[in-house]
Amino acid sequence: MATAAVRLNRRTLGLRRALAPIAEARGFPRGMLWTGTGMTLLFVLLAIFAPVLSPYGFDQYQANGHRFDQLARPGHGHILGTTVQSTDVLSRIVWGAQTELEVVGLALAFGLVIGVPLGLVSGYFGGPFDRVAVLFMDAMFAFPPLLLAIVIAFLLGNSVSSGVLVAALAITIVYIPQYFRVVRNHVISVREEPYVEAARALGAKPFTILRRYVFFNVVQNVPVIATLNAADAVLTLTALGFLGYGVQPSQGAEWGYDVSRAVSDAASGIWWTGLFPGLAIVMLVTGLTLLGEGLNETINPVLRRRSIRRVDFAAPSMDAGAELLDS
């Protein structure tokens, strides 16, 4: 029991130390962090409560036996109007938030699960595996991200039935090299540190060293990179949907697809079918970017030092010193 309590206290202390910079954030970094958190949380809530908040289904075009009007202007019946398919724009935005976060969440999870362990093993052990892994990751990194995502989506489109999974895997391939590079470079810089050498001298196994002593010292920047990648992943998914390689229309609402269908509407003065999905994209990307930049400003020691307020202590005057001597 005592050992378990000690371990719990150590974990709690470690968590407090990790969260301390966030709690101590002040000024502009704090504003970015909390603004980004609020904007991102808004879309998370939309995604979670989409069945409750959405007036209709994402592809519903009629209710009570009555078909919705095509391209109806925003008004009482449809707050944000309807599309050329007679679907409700507001409903597609709400359901689209769920699709966006599902794809981005899966893509980031897959990228972290694959990229971080590969970076740990490659950076710590080196050798032929490291050379092959670096060569492979550099080759992937050389491809334009969107082109690589399109190729993967095209290859998986006929073999994987879930459009969300196809889009997530296509985006995953884009970000694995980034996590691999960041983690590998950090591992190379810490694998010769005294505490790692001491663990080796005591007979600790390599994977024990990686798990206990290396992992938590090399992943501090991963949450920041993952948050910024999430913003980029939203744009990548939007581009895939716009080009017709994203989530299929029958499987879910997707903002990029909606913007693509609205291009022809804009020439006819029908602005609402493209404006509102576009605003949703901008707001989500802005929120994730502010969250990532706020975390970076808060967690990064160099940037955090710049935001610390300077306190100038006035030197005691001669009169104050004389008063102290007299007393």
- Which residue did the predictor score with more confidence, 39 or 308? 39
DSSP string, 290-316: HHHHHHHHHH-HHHHHHHSPP-PPPPP
- Which residue did the predictor score with more confidence, 324 or 267? 267
- Which residue did the predictor score with more confidence, 253 or 220? 253
Q: Is 66 helix (H, G, I), strand (E, B) or coil?
A: strand
pLDDT reading at 319 higher than 90: no
Q: What is the mean pLDDT of residues 309-319?
A: 45
- Which residue did the predictor score with more confidence, 161 or 22? 161
Q: Which fold has domain 18-308?
A: MetI-like fold (1.10.3720)
pLDDT number for residue 76: 78
- pLDDT tens digit sequence for 98-127: 999 999 999 999 999 999 999 999 999 999
pLDDT number for residue 325: 43
Q: At a CB cut-off of 8 Å and minimum separation 6, what does 256 contact?
A: 237, 238, 239, 240, 241, 242, 246, 281
Percent with pLDDT over 90 in the chain: 52
Instruction: End-to-end CA distance of the chain: give it in Å, rounded.
Output: 57
Neighbours of 85 (CB within 10 A): 14
Distance set, CA 261 to CA 57, 166, 280, 314, 322 (Å): 18, 21, 16, 65, 82
DSSP string, 140-190: HHHS-HHHHHHHHHHHHTTT---HHHHHHHHHHHHHHHHHHHHHHHHHHHH
pLDDT reading at 82 higher than 80: yes
Neighbours of 250 (CB within 10 A): 8
Domain boundaries, the chain: 18-308
**Any idea what the Cα angle at residue 307 is, between residues 302 and 309, rounded to 5°?**
125
pLDDT reading at 226 higher than 70: yes
pLDDT reading at 195 higher than 50: yes
- pLDDT tens digit sequence for 127-177: 999 999 999 999 988 889 999 999 999 999 888 888 899 999 999 999 999
Average pLDDT, the chain: 84
Judged by average pLDDT, the poorest of 5-19, 67-81, 102-116, 215-229 is 5-19
pLDDT reading at 11 higher than 90: no
- Which residue did the predictor score with more confidence, 23 or 203? 203
